Chain A
Amino acid sequence: MAQTGKTSKILGALALFFILLGLYWGLIKAPPDAYQGDSQRIMYLHIPSILTAYLSFFIVFVGSCLYLWKRERRDDILAYAAAEIGVLFTALTILEGAIWGKPTWGVWWTWDARLTFTAILLLIFIAYLMLRALIEDENRAAVSGAVLGIIGVLDIPLIHMSVYWWRTLHQPPSILRPDKAPWENIHPAMLEALIVNGIAFLLLYFYLLSQRVRLGEKQEELKNRKLYGRC
């Protein structure tokens, strides 16, 4: 991420533009759902939220691996930033899902496979942040975080399988189904709105990530100045 923060600012501006575009597209332009009516529109936030959370998890994994391999602070800062933002997006996903679930299913929460899986993801992200916060030595905290990042991500397929075999009630995936192409499952107008919002969330995510990484780097720089009197 650029030292001047210029990339970050551009990302922010683009994100803002696409968010506004996405809001218009999702709330006004796209048609209401045949069965669910307007409450379906929260999907334009809900689906991009969880996809960016998955992306975040992946970045935590990559950052953790790189850190354990090369021990460069940048990778650790990246992993931590991605974990923080990942918690945010995962929590948002669950909240949005609950808001949708109440009128649609009649309940705020149910122990179906996908919800449970997302909740477990949130717990692992939170555990990561707590682990980092409660270990005092910085290097040890970074290594510990990296270990949890790697083990956590390795565990995800196993958690996924076990939770899915245990329950299923959530509707089967509409977009990422193996047998049909994405555009055959969802009305084109809705797919357009979804893609626009998807781009908006992606840009927003990278904007937040770049800002958080810059913050981390500044903190690191400050620490080094205090300790060594130089960058």
Chain B
Amino acid sequence: MELLRQTYWLLWKDVRLELRRRESLMAMFFFGALLLFLFQFAFEIRPDRVAEMAPGLLWLAFVFTGTLGLTQLFQPERENSCLEALLLTPFDRSALFVSKVLFNLILMILVESAVFPLFAILFNLDYWTLLPSLFAVTFLGTFGFCVLGTLFSAVTLNARARELLLPLVLFPLLIPVILATIRCLEIILRSGAWSEGLPWLRLLIAFDVIFMTAGYLIFEWVVEA
């Protein structure tokens, strides 16, 4: 399929660039780690309360780290009029959307894979057996974050005060993802089972599907503007 091929090549380009300079990935990881330190100073996370506070703190860290990644997301396209050049080629605009979503997703998953264990070590949280479930939920949440984030990263591409505007626009819209993911993680950490968290999971999946579709359809207008 043409769309898949184009998405693959655009994604490959971004991954290749990232592998060479590793600027986004490193910055995101260290920022995430730094936030964990700040949380300890701010909230005095006692051992008996770690399990309770972990989902919220982790997700806050991921949201802020992800926002950092989002502001950098279209940077390669902004330099040297790359975006204009891309738009001149007869490729499917939505392929750019999908490739950027996947790229940000990859970056965030990598950072989360590092920050999750770091959190467990720093705060003595024993959740190694639950890690697959925790990761599945985090993946769904991260996907929702990346979808809306990519769309609005493109929307605010040429706005003034971009680094401020993007979170301002994005965070209220992400509230279902944030709430659902944190609640699910809480439930899994508390009871080890999915069943209680099923409504939240459904909400997450619905969010991901609805906005992936909406973003896919709308992106063309955003990038042509």
Interface residues of A (CB under 8 A from B): 68, 120, 123-124, 127, 130-131, 134-137, 139-140, 143-144, 146-148, 150-152, 154-155, 158-159, 161-163, 165-166
Q: Compute how far the CA of A154 lies from the CA of B214 in the bound complex, rounded to whole angstroms.
A: 9
How extensive is the interface on chain B, given as a class?
A: 20 to 34
Q: Are B203 and A158 in contact (CB under 8 A)?
A: yes
| A151-B211 contact, Cβ under 8 Å, with A144-B155, A163-B175 | yes
Question: Is the CB of B87 closer than 8 A to any CB of chain A?
Answer: no
A134-B161 contact in complex given A162-B179, A163-B179, C-beta closer than 8 Å: yes
Residues of A within 8 A of B136 (CB): none
Are B221 and A158 in touch, CB under 8 angstroms?
no
Interface-centre pick from B161, B168, B176 (highest chain A CB count, 10 A) = B176
Docked complex Cα distance between A147 and B73 (Å):
19
Residue from A130, A136, A147, A161 in contact with B155 in the complex, judged by beta carbons closer than 8 Å: A147
A-B pairs with beta carbons under 8 A, tally: 94
Q: Provided the pairs A131-B169, A150-B214 are in contact, do residues A162 and B176 lie with their beta carbons within 8 angstroms?
A: yes
Q: What separation, in Å, do the CA atoms of A147 and B218 have in the docked complex?
A: 7
Q: With the chains together, A68 CA to B180 CA distance in Å?
A: 31
With known contacts A139-B225, A148-B155, A158–B199 Cβ distance under 8 A? no
CB neighbours (8 Å) of B169 from chain A are: 127, 130-131, 148
A158-B176 in contact (CB<8A): yes
Asked if B130 is at the interface of the complex by the 8 Å CB criterion, the answer is no
Interface pair B221/A68, CB less than 8 Å apart? yes
Known: A135-B156, A144-B225, A155-B173. A150 touches B207 (CB 8 A): no
The complex places the Cα of A22 from the Cα of B52 at a distance, in Å, of: 50
Closest to A128 in B: B169
* Residues A151 and B183 in contact, CB atoms below 8 Å apart: no
Chain B residues, CB < 8 A from A152? 173
Most chain A beta-carbon contacts within 10 A, residue among B171, B175, B210 = B175
Q: In whole angstroms, how far apart are the Cα atoms of A143 and B179 in the complex?
A: 29
Which residue in chain B gives the minimum CB-CB distance to A145?
B155
Chain A nearest CB: distance from B187 CB in Å? 12
Residues of chain A within 8 A (CB-CB) of B155 are 131, 144, 147-148
A190-B155 Cα distance, complex, nearest whole Å = 46
Q: 17 extra interchain contacts, Cβ-Cβ under 8 A, other than A120-B172, A162-B175?
A: A68-B218, A123-B171, A123-B172, A127-B168, A143-B221, A144-B156, A144-B222, A144-B225, A147-B155, A148-B155, A151-B218, A158-B207, A159-B172, A162-B203, A163-B175, A166-B179, A166-B183
With A and B bound together, what is the CA distance between A151 and B215 in angstroms? 9
Complex Cα distance A148/B218, Å? 10
Tell me the B197-225 residues at the A interface (CB within 8 Å).
199-200, 203, 206-207, 210-211, 214, 218, 221-222, 225
What CA separation (Å) do A140 and B211 show in the bound complex? Answer: 21
- Which residues of B12-70 have CB atoms within 8 Å of chain A's CB atoms? none
Chain A residues positioned under 8 Å from B180 (CB to CB) = 162
Interface presence of B159 (CB below 8 A):
yes
User: B176 is contacted by which of A127, A134, A161 (Cβ under 8 Å)?
Assistant: A161
Contacts of A137 in B (CB 8 A): 158, 225
B190 near A: Cβ within 8 Å? no
Chain B 161-204 per-residue mask, 1 if CB under 8 angstroms from chain A, else 0? 10001001101110110011001000000000000000110010
Flag if A143 contacts B176 (CB, 8 Å).
no
Q: Once bound together, how far apart are the Cα atoms of A33 and B14, in whole Å?
A: 64
Residue of A nearest to B172 (CB): A123
Residues of B within 8 A of A124 (CB): 172-173
Contact residues in B for A165 (Cβ distance below 8 Å): 179, 183, 199-200, 203
Among A135, A162, A165, the most chain B Cβ lie within 10 Å of the Cβ of A162
A131 touching B183, Cβ below 8 Å: no
Residue in A135, A162, A166 whose beta carbon sits within 8 Å of that of B158 in the complex: A135
